[in-house]
């Protein structure tokens, strides 16, 4: 038998032996004590603190993960737009309205031209200019900045892990945005004269979202801030180059 | 062309996510306490160990999601033993030597081993005779299915140290088999 085969056999037997040995050891541990220990009040308090800290960490991690997920989803749409070589439309004169379609787990949002003549924009951010918030709430600092010909994405974070995320994107009016409707109250509003969607959280974590469209771009602002602050940030968006 | 842009803008926290750590605590706290009491020999210290283990479970709760009950128990027992040893070290109740420094005495010629029908029982005996610190890395690797970096995180050692311990454990087992061959 060659050395390599010996080694492989040894590995298999070792794994089996280790598992068997440990299973025997675990089996010797009694499942349930006859008289369970009465844990002290001090101990229970400490466990409560650890659990609360754990829940805070879980929420913070999820917030960051959701923000990344949103950014990735936007990039997917951008690639589809460029893959399709969209036609030029009378985008500048178009007036859009929001169309929402409700499904069981999400709501699909379209921004449709009322004239019906705006098939797709042929816009370049290099030409039309990048917009970004000129007001950022105290404590938030720049975390990520992504700029492509069709999208701007800027993430801000504060020390406690709260996020504020801004996206400016070119969307074909045939493209829809799917938003989670199980954990948000979704309403159609008018923002700054444009059709918009406001998503208010159903829990106390406070992740508000505002999505709107002007003649050229679709904007998404997502933040773990209160409603007034979110609107203040949205109103501060200006062309910066 | 209809592209669905999916993004989730809120906390989607499932019941199982929220309650896994708590369930593990209530299921195993008595077991953790009893193991800790054996190591530490006092109730207050054992309760501290239960808290420390629970903290470790919380930090690594995602690792428990795909473990069956037996593997979860196995991992918690290793966490518990490791936590107790750390408490003892911190309290200077007993002096531990860094056993990693003692190795190197095992000959490489033990690498050449011939597997025969009796090999399994010899290997099992050799595993049983191993020091706990070597057993634990083997158990985390084979029983729980952790990677080297996950083992390192569980035992608060470096991945390099994990590889060293795994290597030494194998060499010790082979040496022991060789010794029994010579004796037999």
- For B146-165, the pLDDT digits (tens) are 899 999 988 989 999 999 99
Cα–Cα distance measured from residue A81 to residue A167, given in angstroms and rounded to the nearest whole number:
16
Chain A nearest C-alpha distance from B112 (Å): 7
Cβ contacts of B39-43, under 8 Å, gap ≥ 24: B39/B81, B39/B84, B39/B85, B39/B87, B39/B88, B40/B84, B40/B87, B40/B88, B40/B93, B43/A37
- Best A3, A18, A65 member to test B by mutation, with max B CBs in 10 Å, is A18
Digit-coded pLDDT (tens) for A203-234: 666 678 888 888 788 888 988 888 899 999 99
Query: If DSSP codes are grouped into helix, strand and coil, which group holds residue A173?
Result: coil
Contacts of B30 in chain A (CB under 8 A): 32-33, 36-37
Residue B62 has a pLDDT of: 79
Task: Report CB contact under 8 Å: B21, A16.
Answer: no
**Is residue B104's pLDDT more than 60?**
no
**Is residue A13's pLDDT more than 70?**
yes
* Judgement on whether residues B88 and B116 belong to the same structural domain of the protein: no
Alpha carbon B33 to chain centroid, angstroms: 18
**CATH code at B127?**
1.10.10.10
Indicate the DSSP class of residue B114: -
Residue A105 has a pLDDT of: 53
Is residue A223 within 8 A of residue A208, CB to CB? The reply is yes
End-of-domain residue from the set B96, B119, B143? B96
Task: Report CB contact under 8 Å: A178, B11.
Answer: no
**Is residue A177's pLDDT more than 70?**
no
Q: What average pLDDT does chain A have?
A: 73
Task: Report CB contact under 8 Å: A29, B29.
Answer: no
* Judgement on whether residues B150 and B82 belong to the same structural domain of the protein: no
Digit-coded pLDDT (tens) for B4-45: 222 332 333 444 556 788 888 888 999 999 999 988 888 989
* Judgement on whether residues B76 and B125 belong to the same structural domain of the protein: no
Most confident of A73-77, A194-198, A202-206, B177-181: A194-198
* Judgement on whether residues B119 and B70 belong to the same structural domain of the protein: no
Q: What is the ipTM of this complex?
A: 0.72
Of the candidates A50, A172, A176, the beta carbon closest to that of B55 is on A50
Contacts of B128 in chain A (CB under 8 A): 21
Domain that holds residue B120: 107-184
Chain B nearest C-alpha distance from A13 (Å): 6
**Is residue A109's pLDDT more than 70?**
no
**Is residue B120's pLDDT more than 80?**
yes
* Judgement on whether residues B19 and B80 belong to the same structural domain of the protein: yes
Of the candidates B3, B9, B70, the beta carbon closest to that of A209 is on B9
In a domain, B101, yes or no: no
* Judgement on whether residues B123 and B173 belong to the same structural domain of the protein: yes
* Judgement on whether residues B41 and B81 belong to the same structural domain of the protein: yes
* Judgement on whether residues B115 and B184 belong to the same structural domain of the protein: yes
Task: Report CB contact under 8 Å: B5, A205.
Answer: no
In a domain, B34, yes or no: yes
CA angle, residues B130, B133, B136, in degrees to nearest 5: 90
* Judgement on whether residues B1 and B90 belong to the same structural domain of the protein: yes
In a domain, B102, yes or no: no
- A54 pLDDT band, cuts 50/70/90, is confident
End-of-domain residue from the set B96, B116, B143? B96
**CATH code at B49?**
1.10.1740
**Is residue B96's pLDDT more than 70?**
no
Chain B residue at shortest CA distance from A82? B1
Of the candidates A69, A199, A205, the beta carbon closest to that of B11 is on A205
End-of-domain residue from the set B96, B115, B141? B96
Q: What average pLDDT does chain B have?
A: 76
Global confidence as pTM: 0.51
* Residue with the larger pLDDT of the pair B51 and A33: B51
**Is residue A104's pLDDT more than 60?**
no
Cα–Cα distance measured from residue B51 to residue A45, given in angstroms and rounded to the nearest whole number:
10
* Judgement on whether residues B14 and B68 belong to the same structural domain of the protein: yes
**Is residue A134's pLDDT more than 80?**
yes
Contacts of B135 in chain A (CB under 8 A): 18, 21-22
**Is residue A188's pLDDT more than 60?**
yes
Handedness of CA A89, A93, A94, A96 (dihedral sign): positive
Most confident of A62-76, A77-91, B78-92: B78-92
Tally the domains of chain B.
2
Is residue B106 within 8 A of residue B126, CB to CB? The reply is no
- A151 pLDDT band, cuts 50/70/90, is confident
- A65 pLDDT band, cuts 50/70/90, is low
Report the 3 state secondary structure along A53-65.
HHHHHHHHHHHHH
For chains A and B, count residue pairs whose Cβ atoms are closer than 8 Å: 182
Burial code of B73-103, b = ≥16 C-beta within 10 A, e = fewer?
A: bbbbbbbbbbbbbebbeeeeeeeeeeeeeee
Residues in chain A: 241
Residue A49 has a pLDDT of: 87
* Judgement on whether residues B111 and B85 belong to the same structural domain of the protein: no
Residue B17 has a pLDDT of: 55
Residue B172 has a pLDDT of: 92
**Is residue A68's pLDDT more than 60?**
no
**Is residue A195's pLDDT more than 50?**
yes
Task: Report CB contact under 8 Å: B113, A6.
Answer: yes
Residue B119 has a pLDDT of: 74
* Judgement on whether residues B148 and B80 belong to the same structural domain of the protein: no
**Is residue A198's pLDDT more than 80?**
yes
């Amino acid at each position: 038998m060659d050395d390599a085969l010996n080694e492989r056999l040894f590995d298999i037997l070792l794994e089996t032996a280790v598992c068997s040995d440990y299973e025997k050891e675990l089996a010797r541990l009694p499942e349930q004590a006859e008289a369970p220990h009465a844990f002290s009040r001090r101990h229970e308090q400490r466990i409560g603190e650890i659990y609360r800290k754990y829940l805070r960490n879980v929420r913070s991690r999820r917030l960051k993960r959701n923000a990344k997920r949103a950014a990735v989803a936007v990039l997917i749409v951008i690639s589809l737009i460029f893959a399709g070589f969209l036609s030029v439309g009378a985008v500048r004169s178009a007036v859009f309205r929001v169309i929402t379609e409700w499904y069981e787990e999400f709501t699909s949002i379209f921004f449709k031209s009322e004239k019906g003549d705006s098939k797709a924009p042929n816009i370049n951010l290099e030409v039309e200019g990048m917009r970004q918030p000129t007001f950022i709430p105290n404590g938030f600092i720049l975390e990520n900045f992504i700029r492509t010909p069709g999208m701007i994405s800027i993430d801000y974070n504060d020390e406690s892990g709260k996020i504020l995320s801004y996206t400016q994107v070119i969307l074909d009016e045939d493209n829809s945005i799917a938003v989670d409707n199980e954990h948000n109250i979704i309403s159609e509003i008018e923002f700054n004269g444009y059709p918009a969607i406001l998503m208010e959280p159903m829990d106390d974590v406070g992740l508000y979202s505002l999505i709107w469209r002007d003649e050229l771009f679709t904007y998404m602002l997502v933040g773990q801030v209160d409603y007034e602050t979110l609107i203040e940030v949205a109103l501060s968006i200006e062309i910066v180059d | 062309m209809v592209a669905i842009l999916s993004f989730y803008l809120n906390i989607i926290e499932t019941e199982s996510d929220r309650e896994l750590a708590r369930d593990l605590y209530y299921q195993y706290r008595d077991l953790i306490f009893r193991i800790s009491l054996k190591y530490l020999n006092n109730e207050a210290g054992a309760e501290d160990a239960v808290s420390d283990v629970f903290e470790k479970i919380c930090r690594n709760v995602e690792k428990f999601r795909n473990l069956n009950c037996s593997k979860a128990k196995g991992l918690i027992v290793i966490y518990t033993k490791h936590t107790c040893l750390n408490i003892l070290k911190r309290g200077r109740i007993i002096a531990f030597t860094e056993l990693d420094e003692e190795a190197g005495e095992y000959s490489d010629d033990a690498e050449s081993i011939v597997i025969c029908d009796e090999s399994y029982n010899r290997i099992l005996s050799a595993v049983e005779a191993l020091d706990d610190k070597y057993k634990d890395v083997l158990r985390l690797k084979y029983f729980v299915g952790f990677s080297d970096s996950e083992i390192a995180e569980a035992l608060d050692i470096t991945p390099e140290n994990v590889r060293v311990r795994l290597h030494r454990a194998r060499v010790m087992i082979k040496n022991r088999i060789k010794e029994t061959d010579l004796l037999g």
